[in-house]
Structure 1
Amino acid sequence: MRLSLPAKVLPSSYDLPSYRGRGRTTIISPTVVITGVLSVIYVLAYTYYHYVSARDPTSYFFDKSRAYSQKYSRLRIEQADNFVTRINAGAAAVKAADAPPRICVGVATVARRNQQYVSTTIGSLLEGLTESERQSMFLNVLVAHSDPAKHPSANDKWMNTLPDRVLHYDPDSPDYDQIVAWEEGGWYRNKTIYDYTYLLRDCYNTNSEYIAMIEDDTIAARGWYKQALQALDTVSKTMQIRAQTRWAYLRLFYVEDLLGWNSEEWPKYLFWSLVVWFVLSFGMLYAKKNFWRHVDNISYAAIAFVSGILIPLSIGLHFMAGRQTMWPIPAGVQEMNKYGCCSQALVFPRSVIPLILARSDLTTDWLVDMMIEQIADKEQLDRWAVVPALFQHIGTTSSKGYGFDTNARELWNFRFEDHPP
């Protein structure tokens, strides 16, 4: 008769000593493994966002030395300048058709210190357009000086060839003395608003369906005109669905700096941070209590480490990475009723122009975009934007005079540079 001996009960694997050669080592505790692995993951995530958020101006990791690289705008500047060079050399230029244009594009230009950008701006607007697209667009340029000869580009061949109309201020106009006084007194804000509304009114008189106001230190993406018309059709259909007839503008350029973690929304950020912390922390405690067979080897010390240190650090990293990194604005036509600086490239529907002209204020010390935003807020008009932007700001020498160049250099749309070449 064969006897069977009872099997010897062995300790669980994590209490079992391990032998390696003549030296004795003990298997590492699961608590140490878990906290170590999660810590390494956090360090890797921190390193990852340190790299990918360098071009996000809403991020703690924003790096000016890398962020302003002209990956796409450099190409567009070259293409625009080559286009203008061909025109100056005698190439034929297409003009608008006699019919009312689809879009009147207004560009007000003033002389800047050292460098002029307006020829590049005009070149980028026209380079790459089909003949039918160019014929449906009326290009209206205002040389915004009481004496046009003060503008270095006033007598350039392209200036007399590419625009459909070049406007100058009439010395016999009743506003002429005021224009001179603004120029001599350095009242650039009042003068800028006057220039803007003067050109806006002249574009309105072309009977165009839309009016695009473009500043003279911007550059357009190739194919901007077609994409802008498609976006305008999208806005028009959306407003019809909403049973609304008026909206303020379509933005073709915006600055991402203001589209970050805005301080007035801190209660929302705090609420969701607490929700995430609560769900994860109490989820771990619930799992340990109710599924002890699987997670009993995870100690309360590990849970406390994750809950008290790693989760708060991870939430902090979420905000450090930047809003445009973690929650980028989806591509397409997006509503942008707040934080949509600035006035570099706006397209207005014809219906809103009389309202803007009637509400324009030449006495208040403000900027064009501030004035338009106040009008839109008061009238509860929706504002839209194309994402990614179709225009980039390239001016580093401000038209406003000394002291504004730093701000001019930082007016930048970082996603514009991601356009395919």
Structure 2
Amino acid sequence: MHISLRIPRLSSLVESYTCRVFLVFLIPYALIVYFARLTCWRDPTSLFFREDEAYEPSYSSLRAAQGIALIEEANNLTEVLRFKASPNPTMCVGLTSVVREGVSYFQSAVGSVLAGLSPVERADLFLILFIAHTDPMQHPAYSEPWLHELADKVLLYDEKDIDVDHIRSLETAEAKTLALEKGLLDYTYLLKACTAIGTPYTVMLEDDIISLDGWYHRTKQALRAVERQTVEKKASKWLYLRLFYTENFLGWNSEEWPIYLFYSLLSASTILLTTLSVRRYRLSLKPFLPSETVFVLSFVCTPLLIILFFAAGRVTMLPIPEGVHEMPKFGCCSQGLVFPQGRIMDLVSWYESKGIGYVDMLTEDYANQNGEIRWVLIPSVLQHVGSKSSKTNIPVTHKGLRTLPQRLWNFGFEKNDVNILHKEHEQQMRWGG
């Protein structure tokens, strides 16, 4: 079978039937582009991303207010807040806090973790709040009633467990310019404290996060799913469950360009072969598919649709389904990680052998070297709200641009609805899910 596809001249296209077909195509195409502008603005991997609006803390502001309200009640020593962990909690929740210059996220972080928890849920958590200063009075929260009212344990440096003089040397202005050592040391110290409680899981949170209403039951359901899928994979262990991630690292990856090119060529070839086959075997339709029209459909319209597909963004077009999934790459950062009890001391040994470095990077290095399974909970149950890092060596960006801490953002988190989450949480508490 010999099929020839004649490439038309531009002058003949302008006043042709093919030109009218193309104009008809442009109408729905323009509508799709308009729809993409309306729906893809939260997707940082999209050409239609609107940065100023996407970084607006819509839900997280409301949730932070709920957390602050709980803190204020605790400061007034309201009796109803006097809930503590049961003798056999499931999770140890640890937060480390240091004073940040000019800002404080600690209250809203702790408040959002606890706000809305039922007495049964609260009893399932052993909450350790670590004031990471050799002089705890340097942290304003240490002298406030809520800290001691809400925590199951307020952790301080103990000379029996750690070289306090060395810690004190890391608190100098000179040492703070390289905060990697103290940050890792504090993380390790809190991990050990949680391990000593003996809970099956340890939830490590940073002090500049916001937890959504219902984070506890979603995390508990996710842990059951992780254990089930780990068994199905015939794996003996897993390293962590990630509770926070940013979509900024989930875009079209340059190393995958051969895959993108293959499917793009496959799409264009499919349209070309389909139209040529229709012309040959459906003679009644042949007048509607002249060579010029076939050319435009295959090599103009189809590429335009492919371009729009990529412009809409990977998070929009190829979203990760809700639930628990493996995330061996592109996970960031250490805002919220859940570790099974049996893996913590291995990690502690790894951290102590390194002595310096970012927790998230060292954890990924350990996982990569040991072939560890890493899980992520989709959608994120945490938001990172810290615009000022506890690590003073974060470089300052140019005026008008967001700093690195400000770009650690989960855009989907802000789509949460307060009422919907509250109803979901009530239902879970009612049915014990």
2:157 aligns to what?
Answer: 169
Q: Give the distance between the partners of 2:407 and 2:133, measured in 1 at CA.
A: 26
- The superposition leaves residues 36-77 of structure 1 with CA deviations (integer Å, 9 ceiling, x where unpaired) of 111222222222212211110111221111111222112101
Q: Tell me whether 243-252 or 213-222 shows the greater mean CA deviation.
A: 243-252
**1:348 and 1:320, CA in 2 relative to 1: closer, same or farther beyond 3 A?**
same
The structure 2 residue matched to 1:87, chosen from 46, 64, 74, is: 74
2:406 aligns to what?
Answer: 409
The structure 1 residue matched to 2:358, chosen from 346, 354, 367, is: 367
* Alignment-mate amino acid for residue 80 of structure 1: G
Q: Give the distance between the partners of 1:122 and 1:364, measured in 2 at CA.
A: 28
* Alignment-mate amino acid for residue 403 of structure 1: P
Q: Which has the larger radius of gyration?
A: 1
Kept in 2: contact 1:94–1:135 (CA 8 A): no
Kept in 1: contact 2:271–2:297 (CA 8 A): no
1:118 aligns to what?
Answer: 106
SS at match of 1:346: strand
Cα offset, 1:388, TM superposition: 0.9
Cα offset, 1:109, TM superposition: 0.4
Kept in 1: contact 2:212–2:381 (CA 8 A): yes
* Alignment-mate amino acid for residue 123 of structure 1: G
The 5-angstrom pairing of residues 323-338 of structure 1 reads 323-338=314-329
Cα offset, 1:193, TM superposition: 0.7
Judging by fraction of residues, say which structure has more helix: 2
* Alignment-mate amino acid for residue 377 of structure 1: N
For these two proteins, the number of residue pairs brought into alignment is 394
* Alignment-mate amino acid for residue 406 of structure 1: T
The 5-angstrom pairing of residues 16-415 of structure 1 reads 30-92=17-79, 93-171=81-159, 174-184=162-172, 185-186=175-176, 187-361=178-352, 363=354, 366-401=357-392, 403=395, 406-415=403-412
TM-score of the pair, normalised by structure 2: 0.87
Kept in 2: contact 1:389–1:416 (CA 8 A): yes
Q: Give the distance between the partners of 2:84 and 2:228, measured in 1 at CA.
A: 27
Can you give the 5+ residue segments of structure 1 that lack an aligned partner in the other structure? 1-27
Can you give the 5+ residue segments of structure 2 that lack an aligned partner in the other structure? 1-14, 397-401, 419-433
* Alignment-mate amino acid for residue 217 of structure 2: K
Kept in 2: contact 1:334–1:385 (CA 8 A): yes
SS at match of 1:129: coil
SS at match of 2:77: coil
* Alignment-mate amino acid for residue 50 of structure 1: R
Q: Given the alignment of the two structures, is residue 420 of structure 1 paired with residue 407 of structure 2, yes or no? A: no
Q: Give the distance between the partners of 1:241 and 1:293, measured in 2 at CA.
A: 54
Cα offset, 1:196, TM superposition: 0.5
- The superposition leaves residues 288-337 of structure 1 with CA deviations (integer Å, 9 ceiling, x where unpaired) of 22223213233211221222222112111111110001011111122212
Q: Give the distance between the partners of 1:94 and 1:269, measured in 2 at CA.
A: 56
Cα offset, 1:108, TM superposition: 0.3
**1:181 and 1:38, CA in 2 relative to 1: closer, same or farther beyond 3 A?**
same
Q: Give the distance between the partners of 1:210 and 1:259, measured in 2 at CA.
A: 28
* Alignment-mate amino acid for residue 63 of structure 2: R
Q: CA RMSD in A?
A: 1.8
Cα offset, 1:242, TM superposition: 2.0
* Alignment-mate amino acid for residue 249 of structure 2: L
Identity %: 38
* Alignment-mate amino acid for residue 395 of structure 2: G
- The superposition leaves residues 175-232 of structure 1 with CA deviations (integer Å, 9 ceiling, x where unpaired) of 2222222222122111111110100011000000100000000011111111111110
TM-score of the pair, normalised by structure 1: 0.89
Q: Give the distance between the partners of 2:150 and 2:162, measured in 1 at CA.
A: 30
* Alignment-mate amino acid for residue 112 of structure 2: S
**1:208 and 1:112, CA in 2 relative to 1: closer, same or farther beyond 3 A?**
same
Q: Give the distance between the partners of 1:116 and 1:95, measured in 2 at CA.
A: 25
Q: Give the distance between the partners of 2:238 and 2:86, measured in 1 at CA.
A: 28
1:6 aligns to what?
Answer: none
- The superposition leaves residues 214-271 of structure 1 with CA deviations (integer Å, 9 ceiling, x where unpaired) of 0000011111111111110111111122222210111111111111111111111111
Q: Give the distance between the partners of 1:403 and 1:266, measured in 2 at CA.
A: 31
Q: Give the distance between the partners of 2:231 and 2:365, measured in 1 at CA.
A: 24
Q: Tell me whether 119-128 or 311-320 shows the greater mean CA deviation.
A: 311-320
